[in-house]
Chains A and B, each alone.
Chain A
Amino acid sequence: MMFDLEKEIRKWKKSLQKHEVFENGLVADIELHLRDAYNAQRQTELTEEDAFRQAVEQVGTAESIAAEYKKNRLVMLNRRSPLRPGRFMPALVWNYIKTALRTIRRHKGYSLINVSGLAIGLTVCMLIVLWVLDEWSFDRFNTNASQIYRVYRNESATQKNSSSTLTPPPMAAALKSDFPEIIKATRFGYWHRQLVTYEDKSFNEPGFRYADPDFFDMFSFPLIKGNPETVLSNPYSVILTEKTAAKYFGEEDPIGKTLTVNNSFNVTVTGVIHNESLNSSLEFDLLSPFVIILKEFIGEDNADNWAFNSFRTYVMLEQSASAENLNQKLTGYLKKYTEEDTDELVLQPLTDIHLFSNLGHDLGNRGDIKYVWIFSALAVFVLLIACVNFMNLTTARSANRAKEVGLRKVVGAGRPQLIRQFFGESILMTLFALVIAFFLLEFLLPLFNTISGKQLASAWQNNPTFLIGFIGLALVTGILSGIYPALFLSSFQPIRTLKGTVSSSGANPLFRKVLVIFQFTLSVFLIIGTLIISRQLSFIRNIDLGFNREHIIHLSIHGELHEKYNAIRERFLQNPDVLHVTASMTLPTNIQGSPGTPMWEGRPPDTKMEIKADFVDYDYIETFEIPLIEGRSFSREYSTDPETAFIVNEEAVRRMGLEKPVVGKRFGFWNIDGQIIGVMKDAHFQILHQKIEPLVFKMFPGWLRRMYVKLRSDDVSTTMASLNKTWDEMNLGYPFEYRFLDEDFHNLYMSEERLGKIFQSFGALAVFIACLGLFGLASFIAEQRTKEIGIRKVLGSSTARIVALLNQEFLNCIAAANLIAWPISYFAMRAWLQKFAYRTNMEIWIFLLSAALGLAVALLTVSLQTLRAARANPVDSLKHE
């Protein structure tokens, strides 16, 4: 048999091809080599067959070569192919920007909706961030903030869930000397308002506070005048805030000037602090050494009185000390000084006071961490709604860009590259929106400040971290809103997009529906929330307090006015338009609890009862028209009334378990043994977050600090003018300053009303953004279905039917959104209402109204588009084919 070289080579090749690693090109390489080797062997006069065998041997076995190739392939798999594009191609960036700008320009309407939605969303977010940070910043300006604690009393041993921030005068010094880890301590006290006079100017100062010399070592109030070391060392010194200094001295240098307090003693100005822009839970206009309270108001013998719980105590711990350890050491501490005192002292971090504190006798102007959370959630919601708009419109209109994606892929773009491109576009869009948002923020900030009662004056401008933070926020928004479009658009298969088989309705319509449902769930939730919050607030405003607060003015009777109270009262009563004049210790807006348990006839031993108390004058019951169920009011006809008479409310009678008749039963409090002379109907003398609690009134002329004047309702301003005249005639040396009681009630709920307003406006904006998106989506869908609409019209369908058809899809979504939003809102709002002891009902009509509102708004939005589409002349839509 003749040796056929070609046949042998074919056979040999086949044996190689058994190994899949040998691609055709590789086999060709080795085949050429084999032929060269064969030719070389032939030179040595071997037979053809032998030369071939030699050559094959020289080349090596298929197995061993295949094994080497296999190794290469493994290495290759772990590497990027040289055919794949680089990660970043600078040359394409310009093209991306151009494409993005072109897309924005070609679809002005959609771009406007996208950008304005994002801009509004970002603005709302930025306002809320500013608000939240402001709330959060309270007391944090103090460099030692983390070491400062307020000491409060936990009264749980005697009264359930009761606590008080009020502590006795000797405590600060005692704590400092008993615990080495306490390095500084100060009292912070208030003693009624004071009349402060400089030359011919005098003002009643409610913001007069007193503190120990350690105060300025602990807190970081910046002194702009005066020496921080010595500023409180002279007992008769005073530090003013800039504003107060300007009020008394104008442009003059206040240092060294003398102010007269209550026409009885002088204080010298030793310092001026700047506190305008500081968020501090400690508020004051004038600050003097605490010893003034002892020397001038309560007597120096009270310096060691552990029962005089009227002041706040702050301590500063060593850097290394732990508050928990100290809290443990404080267990039973008060017993060391007063045996019968079972209260426990607890340290509360300074930075918790504004947002996390809800103690008895707490400072005013506190925030609430709950609202911080609610608003943060609102910010996220609004932003999400804006992001959903972007996703929905971009993916819905994806068909328009399918060809671009296909072409880019064909010329070598990989998916990651396309994803980056689309992310880039959404980020570009949000950065654009951010610029608009900054302008909007500037414009809306004054309005927001009015609503929120804050001073958020462009804090972001002076603070680069805000700016960077907001840019970061925009980037996050861009990524969030771009994530779905980027993944979706980049997944197109070039073969289908270029053939034109990608459906023109864009993304999966189900997903789009889910997004619309999500948006409207949030919107309906916000509508329901807004409605319930407004209802609750108006419920509180209009609740029957159980006493009459109308046409009552109140004046402070501090200092010398206190002694002149009866004279003033007599003079005022001569005015025919004055119905009653009376007085009490505290305002009826918020009567506080009094420590200790009263005694009553038949009280089982060890029974405790927490009771609110106020000291009042004759005519108190009459002035406020508090209905009496039993007995009588305090009366001048009974000489014992100022000494031993008590009036209690129904709740107290219920808790004490007294049988009728209650009048005449023995009752004692504050070591006074007396009897009940009257029972009044329950009325709200506390903030309406709290339930009505037991209450007792007792006459106590020495403690009256507020005078009330009930006016005839006819002509209040004339009456006030004539009272002012009377006041001036009496030459009291105090300015005539008064407030209306119903305003004070209004102010009690001011912060809630403010929050309600913020919630309402942002809720409305959120709904608006959602509608913006719906509008865009509706117009897109109408556009997509132009031909269908044309055909339907040609075949005789009416405009109304076409609108109904087009609206159908959206209405289903809104209905679904309502079904989801109802239970969520129900539980969320129920939780919020729990805060109030007296609350409005969540009636079904609120939910139905929200649904109707949501539907109406959506229907209006959608119909604007669908109606236009339905009324278009079919000739226009059909003539192109």
Chain B
Amino acid sequence: MAASTRPIILAILSRGEDYGYSIIQKVKDISRGHLKWTDGMLYPVLQRMEMDDLITSKWKLSGESRPRRYYTITEKGRKELASELVSWRNVWQALIRLAKPIPAEN
């Protein structure tokens, strides 16, 4: 999966607990369909993030009939998100700088 997957999931969960299908939908909505994830691949990533103590999960019965596994961001996850934001910002700024036209030599 892309390097952006984990920060995006963390960012989504930082707004409140959520479950797998809904996370995927939010990714699609926010990126206006630009980010195309194979849905099933989300679950191993979530498992891995749980192993890393970035998120925790809990089975819950929501209003509907089905139980769902809800994921919550942990304190460690928040820290991770903050540092990811810094480094993505740095990457972004670097890219912007590089993309500027090179002044012609006189």
**Do A and B originate from a single complex?**
yes
Give A contacts to B, CB under 8 Å. Answer: 26, 29-30, 32-33, 35-37, 58-61, 64-65, 68-69, 71-72, 75-76, 79
B71-89 interface code vs A (CB 8 A; 1 in, 0 out): 0000000000000000000
Q: When the two chains form their complex, are residues A32 and B20 in contact, meaning their CB atoms are under 8 A apart?
A: yes
Q: When the two chains form their complex, are residues B20 and A65 in contact, meaning their CB atoms are under 8 A apart?
A: no
| 9 interchain residue pairs of minimum CB distance | A68-B44, A60-B38, A60-B40, A36-B21, A65-B40, A59-B40, A59-B39, A69-B44, A72-B48
Q: When the two chains form their complex, are residues A32 and B68 in contact, meaning their CB atoms are under 8 A apart?
A: yes
Q: When the two chains form their complex, are residues B44 and A71 in contact, meaning their CB atoms are under 8 A apart?
A: yes
Q: When the two chains form their complex, are residues A65 and B44 in contact, meaning their CB atoms are under 8 A apart?
A: yes
Known: A58-B39, A68-B41, A69-B44. A75 touches B51 (CB 8 A): yes
Q: When the two chains form their complex, are residues B41 and A29 in contact, meaning their CB atoms are under 8 A apart?
A: no
Chain A contacts for B69, CB-based, 8 A: 29, 32
Is B15 among interface residues, defined by CB-CB distance under 8 A? Answer: no
From 32 to 69 in chain B, residues with beta carbon under 8 angstroms from any chain A beta carbon are 38-45, 47-48, 51, 66, 68-69
Q: When the two chains form their complex, are residues A75 and B41 in contact, meaning their CB atoms are under 8 A apart?
A: no
**Interface of A, helix, strand, loop or mixed by DSSP:** helix
Q: When the two chains form their complex, are residues B21 and A30 in contact, meaning their CB atoms are under 8 A apart?
A: no
Interface residues on chain B, number (Cβ under 8 Å):
18
Q: Shortest Cβ distance from A34 into chain B, in angstroms?
A: 8
Q: When the two chains form their complex, are residues A32 and B21 in contact, meaning their CB atoms are under 8 A apart?
A: yes
Known: A32-B21, A37-B21. A72 touches B38 (CB 8 A): no
Chain A contacts for B44, CB-based, 8 A: 65, 68-69, 71-72
Chain A contacts for B24, CB-based, 8 A: 33
Residue of A nearest to B48 (CB): A72
Q: When the two chains form their complex, are residues B38 and A30 in contact, meaning their CB atoms are under 8 A apart?
A: no
Q: When the two chains form their complex, are residues B39 and A37 in contact, meaning their CB atoms are under 8 A apart?
A: yes
9 more A-B residue pairs beyond the given contacts A59-B38, A69-B43, with a C-beta to C-beta distance below 8 A: A32-B66, A32-B68, A33-B39, A33-B42, A58-B38, A65-B44, A71-B44, A72-B44, A75-B51
Residue of A nearest to B21 (CB): A36
Residue of A nearest to B69 (CB): A29
Residue of A30, A32, A33, A65 most packed against chain B (CB within 10 A): A33
Q: When the two chains form their complex, are residues A65 and B51 in contact, meaning their CB atoms are under 8 A apart?
A: no
Chain B contacts for A76, CB-based, 8 A: 51
Known: A29-B20, A33-B20, A33-B21. A64 touches B47 (CB 8 A): no
Q: Shortest Cβ distance from A9 into chain B, in angstroms?
A: 13
Known: A29-B69, A33-B20, A37-B21. A60 touches B39 (CB 8 A): yes
Chain B contacts for A79, CB-based, 8 A: 51
Chain B contacts for A33, CB-based, 8 A: 20-21, 24, 39-40, 42-43
**Interface of B, helix, strand, loop or mixed by DSSP:** helix
Q: Shortest Cβ distance from A51 into chain B, in angstroms?
A: 15
Chain A contacts for B41, CB-based, 8 A: 60, 64-65, 68
Chain B contacts for A64, CB-based, 8 A: 38, 40-41
- Cα distance, A19 to B38, chains bound together (Å): 18
Known: A59-B40, A60-B40. A72 touches B47 (CB 8 A): yes
Q: When the two chains form their complex, are residues A30 and B66 in contact, meaning their CB atoms are under 8 A apart?
A: no
Chain A contacts for B48, CB-based, 8 A: 71-72, 75
- Cα distance, A61 to B38, chains bound together (Å): 9
Chain B contacts for A69, CB-based, 8 A: 43-44, 47
Q: Could you jot down 29 A-B contacts, CB within 8 Å?
A: A26-B47, A29-B20, A29-B43, A29-B69, A30-B40, A32-B21, A32-B69, A33-B21, A33-B40, A33-B42, A33-B43, A35-B66, A36-B21, A37-B39, A59-B40, A60-B39, A60-B40, A64-B41, A65-B40, A65-B44, A68-B41, A68-B44, A69-B43, A69-B44, A69-B47, A72-B44, A72-B48, A72-B51, A75-B51
Chain A contacts for B51, CB-based, 8 A: 72, 75-76, 79
From 1 to 36 in chain B, residues with beta carbon under 8 angstroms from any chain A beta carbon are 1, 20-21, 24
Q: Shortest Cβ distance from A211 into chain B, in angstroms?
A: 76
- Cα distance, A692 to B80, chains bound together (Å): 90
Residue of B43, B48, B66 most packed against chain A (CB within 10 A): B43
Chain A contacts for B38, CB-based, 8 A: 58-60, 64
- Cα distance, A511 to B74, chains bound together (Å): 53
Q: Shortest Cβ distance from B70 into chain A, in angstroms?
A: 12
Residue of A nearest to B68 (CB): A32
Q: Shortest Cβ distance from B64 into chain A, in angstroms?
A: 10
- Cα distance, A72 to B52, chains bound together (Å): 10
Q: Shortest Cβ distance from B33 into chain A, in angstroms?
A: 13
Residue of A30, A36, A71 most packed against chain B (CB within 10 A): A36
Residue of B1, B44, B48 most packed against chain A (CB within 10 A): B44
Q: Shortest Cβ distance from B39 into chain A, in angstroms?
A: 5
- Cα distance, A29 to B47, chains bound together (Å): 11
Residue of B nearest to A16 (CB): B40
Chain A contacts for B47, CB-based, 8 A: 26, 69, 72
Q: Shortest Cβ distance from A79 into chain B, in angstroms?
A: 7
- Cα distance, A71 to B21, chains bound together (Å): 22
Chain A contacts for B66, CB-based, 8 A: 32, 35
- Cα distance, A60 to B37, chains bound together (Å): 9
Chain A contacts for B40, CB-based, 8 A: 30, 33, 59-61, 64-65
Residue of A nearest to B53 (CB): A82
Q: Shortest Cβ distance from B15 into chain A, in angstroms?
A: 20
Q: Shortest Cβ distance from B73 into chain A, in angstroms?
A: 17
Chain B contacts for A26, CB-based, 8 A: 43, 47
- Cα distance, A612 to B105, chains bound together (Å): 108
